[in-house]
Structure 1
């Protein structure tokens, strides 16, 4: 059991100087929800954004929050899309700050329903026609049941291989929708096969492929890293796959920061994360990588300020063009977001 309460490090590190404060960031992966004992809503995220980094927009990612409680089962996930789109509309007023929260939205659909998923997709598009960009259904699988203990929603085993999933998956590309894939590193070959079988469907790999090292010793960690590295390089050969670089605050990586009660700064984070960040960018290239906060989930391990400082510190020697791609450009392109006006408003607000 973690010594730190859920998301207990969220506000840590705000005394740190903001590295490269001029870098504009499109946070490509964050969540909002209001559950018993776990609440992280727009005002909480705004509080983190206002801590100093130049977050000009975000991609809202589903957690099966705010689903409808009645009506047809396949339409219940649309409630979360409606929530996120309503929030996005509110944020365009500028009253709540210049950051365009939920500028793009990735919702949930039950991909085990085969062709019936079409109703979910079409209703989600109708609910957020300017922002709905794709769906995510977590596909994490592991032979050790204990490895799944942090999942709030358990996916069916062998989800990516199931005929029903593949029948549902065929409905994405004709609608211009992508699939956000959350898997562990040993599942990356399955994802590569999916990319090969459906070359017209864009896959966005979440959390850099989660090199599972939770509850692992040094030798197992090194073996896992090498397998992850090989699998990432092989997956990157598929041009229809892009990679989110982040999620390192989750327990799966086994860094142990979530178990500590002392403050953790960006230098310590960057030292631990660097091999994974650099490997992911080397495999996919900056133009196919996008940085993410995975907040508030990564708040179990580090504060919002140190998290982004660590990411900036790791890539400090990269070119200006590469940094632009990593922190905003790739996400803008693949989620089809235009934040040029939001950046202008941001600059006027800060002036």
Structure 2
């Protein structure tokens, strides 16, 4: 779908996107494939060129933050250290973007990698290796904890154990993030938000970002239950927002799990329709956290399920039409820049 770009001059830092080449892995998932795999097939190859093409569709993307996704791990490395390959790869992409040959957008100016925090104290050398692989750009860790009793909610790629964020060994590893000046991205599903609340209270000085508005669910055994569970989600979001060390990413709602919209990929739904679907979730998060702890994200290419890149950002802009210029600056760039330590990207007043 093609739309006129709204507020084309508004500076945006996209704080959550992926790069990957999943083509070699697709044969591992025989027919009939889980819906998530079908979502990914059209973008199984999504690296610098594909992301740059999306970034250059009209919105003023001044910089981005890469989010770990298990891509380009080191072959032959130990299980603990293979994750360093992803950060090495992305640091090269950032250097490519930084050459100026492809426009002014500083792609992957911040890099969030992965380390297995279930290593406990043994995670320290992994974190050191990740920092050494991208000393200027590596900013933190995501160790996803998404789990549900219904395996159809997530599908075969995800195998986090139940209650991961409450595990004592996980928390032993988690404690090393603050020691090394790193942040943590939490991806869980809506019923698990209390796990993030508990983690945030246990580590009140640790900067944590909740991804994807806490991932409301509308698929598999949750089909048709978004309205039924909204109040539960809202109460948990409001409780989490009381933890001042936590920020939230406004997005991820175009994933197939959320059923907002129900059909995809990139089904041609316009930004007005998407804004109406997402408004209760986005407004609740902004009211709870405030613009200084909330940031819009693309979650691309996963959110391609529900929206093309330009339409997705148009939908967000429709949701902030009544916001002040300062609030918009925070929601679209300043909060992300501060959380990920990339303030140098912000336009100078």
Q: Give the TM-score normalised by the residue count of structure 2.
A: 0.91
Counterpart position of 2:164: 159
Match of 2:230 among 218, 222, 225: 225
Per the TM alignment, residue 188 of structure 1 is displaced from its structure 2 partner at its CA by 1.1
Alignment of 1:1-351 (within 5 A): 13=1, 15-36=2-23, 38-149=44-155, 152-215=157-220, 216=222, 218=224, 220-259=225-264, 262-340=267-345
Equivalent pair of 1:249/1:258 in contact (CA under 8 Å): no
**Cα shift readout 1:231-251 (whole Å, capped 9, x = no counterpart):** 000000001000000001112
Task: Give the Cα–Cα distance (whole angstroms) in 2 for the partners of residues 156 and 69 of structure 1.
Answer: 25
Equivalent pair of 1:245/1:277 in contact (CA under 8 Å): yes
Which sections of structure 1, spanning at least 5 residues, go unmatched? 1-12, 345-351
Per the TM alignment, residue 169 of structure 1 is displaced from its structure 2 partner at its CA by 0.4
**Cα shift readout 1:65-95 (whole Å, capped 9, x = no counterpart):** 0110112221110110111111111211100
Shift of the 128–260 alpha-carbon distance from structure 1 to 2, 3 Å rule, reads closer
Task: Give the Cα–Cα distance (whole angstroms) in 1 for the partners of residues 142 and 266 of structure 2.
Answer: 32
Per the TM alignment, residue 260 of structure 1 is displaced from its structure 2 partner at its CA by 7.0
3-state SS, counterpart of residue 184 of structure 2: strand
Per the TM alignment, residue 157 of structure 1 is displaced from its structure 2 partner at its CA by 2.4
Task: Give the Cα–Cα distance (whole angstroms) in 1 for the partners of residues 277 and 158 of structure 2.
Answer: 28
* Number of aligned residues: 328
Equivalent pair of 1:74/1:119 in contact (CA under 8 Å): no
Equivalent pair of 1:29/1:60 in contact (CA under 8 Å): yes
Q: Name whichever of 245-254 and 235-244 sits farther off.
A: 245-254
Equivalent pair of 2:295/2:332 in contact (CA under 8 Å): yes
Structure with higher RCO (Cα < 8 A, 6+ apart): 1
Counterpart position of 1:6: none
3-state SS, counterpart of residue 117 of structure 2: coil
Which sections of structure 2, spanning at least 5 residues, go unmatched? 24-40
Per the TM alignment, residue 340 of structure 1 is displaced from its structure 2 partner at its CA by 4.1
